[in-house]
Chains A and B, each alone.
Chain A
Amino acid sequence: EPEVTQTPSHQVTQMGQEVILRCVPISNHLYFYWYRQILGQKVEFLVSFYNNEISEKSEIFDDQFSVERPDGSNFTLKIRSTKLEDSAMYFCATFLFPTEAFFGQGTRLTVV
């Protein structure tokens, strides 16, 4: 069964540091997403990416965040200067119409 792979599974970083979360999408999928789940809360949409550009972003996705697909395979989420409130589980998801979205296992980011 095809799967979405995320690395690392857990990252601890100091406040103010940059982090890059990585995702290897399913090979023929065209739409990519990042979601965030703060501990005990709902899963929130951050950004969608299609045809090498952002197609939609939420209010959460401010200037501290960026996404790219640098080598045509990995899909990355960068947080430039992490804050304590960025601590959360980050999920990558990929989609190919008309199937459903497939999620990775998530990266747990802890900002200290």
Chain B
Amino acid sequence: GDSVTQMEGPVTLSEEAFLTINCTYTATGYPSLFWYVQYPGEGLQLLLKATKADDKGSNKGFEATYRKETTSFHLEKGSVQVSDSAVYFCALSLINTGKLIFGQGTTLQVKP
């Protein structure tokens, strides 16, 4: 079945370090791919998305590129801030539905 796998956390970085959170997926069709962020005590917020192969989603300095050949959608940021500390979820949805399949989440801790 369709699934999403993320790298295990927590990821602990110093401020201004480079961030990569790996995400790979398995899907029978051509999914859209998403990164959602959950700040402490809050709900899920869409961070970025990509709807087809080679699309790059970007927002707030975060980027992810839809790689069909490697079935990946890795999240990157060049310089993290303490305020980026949160749980990051990679997710996919199949075309024409809003149903999301989530990865297990990766906790990011950024220290000053």
Give A contacts to B, CB under 8 Å: 31, 33, 35, 41-45, 48, 56, 91, 93-95, 97-98, 100-106
Interface assignment of B42: CB less than 8 Å from any CB of chain A: yes
Q: How large is the interface on B (under 10, 10 to 19, 20 to 34, 35 or more residues)?
A: 20 to 34
Nearest neighbor of A29 in chain B, beta-carbon distance: B98
Cβ–Cβ contact A42 & B105, under 8 A = yes
Interface positions, chain B 68-112, Cβ under 8 Å from A, are: 89, 91, 93, 96-105
Interface assignment of B14: CB less than 8 Å from any CB of chain A: no
Give B contacts to A, CB under 8 Å: 32, 34, 36, 42-46, 49, 51, 89, 91, 93, 96-105
- With contacts A41-B104, A100-B49 taken as known, whether A91 is within 8 angstroms of B99 at the C-beta atoms is no
Cβ–Cβ contact A104 & B43, under 8 A = yes
- With contacts A41-B104, A42-B102, A42-B103 taken as known, whether A48 is within 8 angstroms of B43 at the C-beta atoms is no
Query: What are 5 A-B contacts with C-beta separation under 8 Å?
Result: A33-B99, A93-B44, A94-B98, A102-B46, A106-B43
8 extra interface residue pairs, beta carbon distance < 8 Å, beyond A93-B44, A94-B98: A43-B102, A48-B98, A56-B99, A101-B98, A103-B36, A103-B43, A103-B44, A105-B43
Cβ–Cβ contact B89 & A43, under 8 A = yes
Nearest neighbor of A32 in chain B, beta-carbon distance: B98
Interface centre among B42, B98, B103 (most CB of A within 10 A): B98
- With contacts A91-B44, A103-B44 taken as known, whether A45 is within 8 angstroms of B100 at the C-beta atoms is yes
**Residue from A91, A97, A105 within 8 A of B96 (CB atoms):** A97
